[in-house]
Amino acid sequence: MTLVAVIAGALLAVSSAIALVRIVRGPSVLDRAVASEVIVSIVVCAIGLEAATTRHAAVLPILVSLSLVGFIGSVSVARFVARDRDDPPPQDPGRPPGGRGQR
């Protein structure tokens, strides 16, 4: 059981390092937001791994609250991106409204 926990912890550490690289080097804000959500998920998995190896159920409220924080963060980022994409493109000041100018 200890070997499995060490391997799982190592995989979680590697995945968190990769997510941190994406946060630092992410070309857009959306990439950084997704990477931060991945970090929250990795923390939830690490706490769950610790609870499974030590057989403590006291961390269940922490797991539930972190999961809710991750969910609310994902939904808010999705709404922000959807609202940003729904905005109409700015009009050219030289063109009349309606999209077609006179030739």
Whole-angstrom Cα distance, residue 24 to residue 45?
Answer: 22
Question: pTM for this structure?
Answer: 0.74
50-70, pLDDT tens digit by residue? 999 999 889 999 999 999 988
Domain spans in the chain, listed from the N-terminal domain onward: 2-86
The full DSSP string for 8-73 is: HHHHHHHHHHHHHHHHHH-SSHHHHHHHHHHHHHHHHHHHHHHHHHHT--TTHHHHHHHHHHHHHH
98, pLDDT greater than 70: no
